[in-house]
Amino acid sequence: MKLAFIGTGNMGGSLLAGVLAGELGSAAEVVATTRSTASGQALAEKLGITVLDLESDAAANRTAAAGADYVFLGVKPWMIADTLADLEGAIAENAVVVSMAAGVSLAQLAAGAPGHAVVRIMPNTPSSIGLGVISLAADGVSEETISELAQLLAGAGDVIPVPEEQMHAAIAMAGSSVAYFFLVMESLIDAGIAQGLSREAATRMVVGAANGAGQLAASDPRPADLRIAVTSKGGTTAAALASLENDDIRGVMARAAEACADRSREMEAGN
C-alpha cells in the first residue's frame, strides 16, 4: 500500500506517527510533504520517512500523490481547495482522498477531487501515541475501502464513524477537546502553585491525576459513576465539586462545545 501525506505538520505528523505504528501503516510506502525544507527535514528525521518539500520542489505534492492509494490532506482548511487544484491529474484513478481539515465538507472535497472517493476524518493529536480519537465520515465509499482505511488508522487510535452532519459535534468532542483538557490542567497547576506547591510538584500531581482519570474512564466508561465513587459526603472532593457545580461547570463545557461546533459550521459556510 502506498500513502501520501500532503501537508504534514502538527496534526498530519501526529496522525502519520500513529499510522506508522500500526500493522498496515508499518508495511506501507509513505511519502509526506511540507511547505518548508526545514520542517520537512525535521519530520523525515523524526519519523524515518521520505519527505518532499515545496520550497525545494514546486511539484512535491504531485510527486508524493502519484500512485498513492490514500492521499491524506493535512494542510490548513483554507488551503484545501488550492491544494486539490494543484493535485489535479496527479492522483491515481482509484485513490481515496482523506481530508483532516476542520470545516471542509465532503461536497467541497468531491468538488475539488472529481471522480475520487473522498473521506473526511477528524483526528486529534494523541494519535501520535496511538491514543487518538478519529471520527470518520464518508459518502458513497465502499464498505471495503472504509474498513481498510479504519484498519490503517487504528494504529493512531479509536476510529468512530459518524454521519457527516455530526462532524461539527465530533470536532467539539475530540478534535478540539484535547486543548480544553490541557487548559483545565494549566488552570489546576496554577491553582496548586497558589496553594503553595512548586510548579514541578503541581504539574506532576495534575498530569498524573489526569492520566489516571483518563485510564480509569477508558477501562470503565461511566464518568458519573467514577465521580460518585470518589466523593464522600461532606468530604474534600464534595467541597470542590460543589464549587465547580456552583460555578456552572456543565454550562461552561456546553458553551465551549457549542462555540466549537458553531465555528466549524461557519468555516464550512466559508466564513
Ligand X SMILES: NC(=O)c1ccc[n+]([C@@H]2O[C@H](COP(=O)([O-])OP(=O)(O)OC[C@H]3O[C@@H](n4cnc5c(N)ncnc54)[C@H](OP(=O)(O)O)[C@@H]3O)[C@@H](O)[C@H]2O)c1
Extract the C-alpha cell encoding 159. 476510529
- Residues within window 146-205 making contact with ligand X, judged by CB under 6 A: 175
| DSSP letter for each residue of 50-107 | EEEETTT-TTHHHHHHTT-SEEEE-S-GGGHHHHHHHHTTTS-TT-EEEE--TT--HH
56 binds ligand X (CB under 6 A): no
Helix, strand, coil tally for the chain in percent (to 5):
60, 15, 25
CA dihedral 233, 238, 243, 246 (to 10 degrees): -50
CB nearer to ligand X: pick between 25 and 264: 264
Point out which span in 19-27, 73-81, 203-211, 241-249 binds ligand X (CB under 6 A).
73-81
| Backbone CA torsion sign across 156, 161, 163, 165 | negative
Of 8-16, 130-138, 155-163, 210-218, the segment contacting ligand X by CB under 6 A is 8-16
Q: Is 74 in the site for ligand X (CB under 6 A)?
A: yes
String of contacts with ligand X for each residue 114-153, x by CB under 6 A = --------xxxx----------------------------
Nearer to ligand X, 83 or 154 (CB): 83
Count the neighbouring beta carbons within 10 Å of the beta carbon of residue 5: 29
Nearer to ligand X by C-beta: 12 or 22?
12
Binding site for ligand X (CB under 6 A): 6-12, 33-36, 39, 54, 61, 74-77, 79, 83, 100-102, 122-125, 175
